[in-house]
Amino acid sequence: MAIPLKYNLRNLRVRWRLTLATMLGIALVVAVFVMVMALARGLKATYVSTGDERNLLVLRRGSTADTTSQITRNEVRRIRYLDGIARNEQGEPLASAEIVVLATIDRIDHRGTANVVVRGVGPVALALRPNVRLVEGRWFQPSLRECVVSRKIAERFANCRVGQSFRTGKTTWHVVGTFDAAKTAYESEIWVDADEARKEFNRNFYGSILLRPVSTAAGAALARRMEQDPLLQVRVLPETEYFRDQTKMAGPIQFVGTFLATIMSIGAAFSAMNTMYAAVGARTREIGTLCVLGFRRRDIYACFLIESVLLALGGGVVGCLLSLPLNGVATGTFSWTTFAEVAFEFRITGELLAKGLGFALLMGVLGGLLPARLAARKPVLDALRAV
């Protein structure tokens, strides 16, 4: 017959100081694990949610990002009026020739600077990005050195609010509007007129062309035509696919987080093991009594293992609760693709919390295996003679 669960709960309550200390150690490990995984999850979600499935992105063949791509003005004119590209109500093709450059801007707390993506866009840029909407001020006017900034950039960098101005190189940009990009990668950008950006940053080319075909079939035909044209030397891919490829930068964060959590979990497992060894030593006579009462060795083994698991799960729950306040907190990290800061939010999901509890369960099992085995193998007479 199995030993009642209330026996384990009573023992954990009686030794509450040791129980709390062990639970706290496990809770800290689980909290770190969940927080780092939430960091990587939020970064991935930012890129995965960026882009429109209807759009195609045109880059220079061989380039991996729009920051390293170069498309000439002649190529832009050749591509912009190809058959199969959708048009707006004014009859203009939905094709935006764009350029991405980097600007070094002071942080809002004036503790250093960071690279920020400045995207030069065309007049139809907003029509191609329905997730981006102006929330304050107005849209920029060309040739006046005006710009609009994302809401997160305005919150993180100095002189980036509506009515303020910031300087990059020899140019002073005037902020006339703030936009919201619905937690996409565009939340890390400043937008200006593409031609003005080329002029002010001394570029005689564009970086990419974002366009929308009239249909999926037309998009496939457009892609083949552009890639097979020897005068273009471009590659064409869906916008969503391009941003999905950027999620690879979350890999190192996830690896480091898993490595740190693994190292810390070894210490937490030893802590749980130490607690259970102490429990076995203090309850030697109880173990002998259980044997005399007819409980089998496997029942005693399961009893102590369950106690270790309960201890770890309690710490896991506390760790998950400690990590919850970080959900939705905005932060930023350096992107090795764009060499600029990327703004995103910690994203803690139910799945991530379940993984945290599973991690705690694993620590409890590893920490309880040997002490439970020791308890189950104690000779009955030696246990009863223990003082």
Q: Same domain for 343 and 196? A: no
Tell which of 232, 266, 286 closes a domain: 232
Residue 239 domain-assigned?
A: no
pLDDT given for residue 375 in this prediction: 66
Among 305, 318, 301, 331, residue whose Cα is nearest residue 360: 318
The number of folded domains in the chain is: 2
Q: Same domain for 214 and 345? A: no
Q: How many angstroms separate the Cα of 309 from the Cα of each of 261, 275, 371?
A: 18, 12, 12
Q: Are 64 and 235 in contact (CB under 8 A)?
A: no
Q: Are 149 and 176 in contact (CB under 8 A)?
A: no
pLDDT given for residue 190 in this prediction: 96
Q: Same domain for 39 and 140? A: no
Q: Same domain for 300 and 370? A: yes
Residue 237 domain-assigned?
A: no
Residue 102 domain-assigned?
A: yes
Q: Same domain for 225 and 310? A: no
E strands of 30-164, at which residues? 56-60, 95-106, 113-121, 133-137, 146-150
Q: Same domain for 98 and 68? A: yes
Q: Same domain for 175 and 257? A: no
Q: Are 307 and 8 in contact (CB under 8 A)?
A: yes
Among 119, 123, 131, 72, residue whose Cα is nearest residue 94: 123
pLDDT given for residue 168 in this prediction: 86
Residue 56 domain-assigned?
A: no
Q: Is 250 exposed, middle or buried (0-12, 13-18, 19+ CB in 10 A)?
A: buried
pLDDT given for residue 310 in this prediction: 87
369: region left, alpha or beta (phi > 0 left; psi from -120 to 50 alpha): alpha
Residue 75 domain-assigned?
A: yes
Q: Are 7 and 303 in contact (CB under 8 A)?
A: yes
Residue 72's φ and ψ, nearest 5 degrees, are -75, 165
Residue 380's φ and ψ, nearest 5 degrees, are -65, -45
Q: Same domain for 44 and 66? A: no
Q: Are 237 and 63 in contact (CB under 8 A)?
A: no
Whole-model pTM: value is 0.78
Q: Are 307 and 12 in contact (CB under 8 A)?
A: yes
Helix (H) or strand (E) holding 143: none
Tell which of 184, 208, 232 closes a domain: 232
Q: Same domain for 266 and 357? A: yes
Ranges of residues in the chain whose predicted pLDDT is under 50: 383-384, 386-387
Which tokens hold the place of 218? 């037309």
pLDDT given for residue 280 in this prediction: 63
Which tokens hold the place of 315? 């710490």
Question: Any long-range contacts for 127-132 (C-beta under 8 Å, 24+ apart)?
Answer: 127/88, 127/94, 128/52, 128/55, 128/94, 128/96, 128/210, 128/211, 128/212, 129/52, 129/181, 129/186, 130/52, 131/52, 131/181, 131/182, 131/184, 131/186, 132/179, 132/180, 132/181, 132/182, 132/184, 132/186
Which residues, other chains included, contact 212 with Cβ-Cβ below 8 Å and sequence gap of 6+? 52, 54, 55, 56, 85, 86, 94, 95, 128
Residue 301 domain-assigned?
A: yes
Q: Which residues constitute the domain of residue 208?
A: 62-232
Residue 238 domain-assigned?
A: no
Q: Same domain for 209 and 252? A: no
pLDDT given for residue 292 in this prediction: 58
Q: Are 352 and 34 in contact (CB under 8 A)?
A: yes
Ranges of H-type helices in 67-149: 73-80, 125-128
Tell which of 232, 260, 280 closes a domain: 232
Residue 189's φ and ψ, nearest 5 degrees, are -125, 160
Q: In this predicted model, what pLDDT tens digit does every residue of 109-156 receive, in sequence order? A: 888 888 899 999 999 999 999 999 999 999 999 989 999 999 999 999
Q: Same domain for 76 and 220? A: yes
Q: Same domain for 220 and 303? A: no
Which tokens hold the place of 108? 């809002």
Q: Can you tell me whether residue 197 is helix, strand or coil?
A: helix
Residue 308 domain-assigned?
A: yes
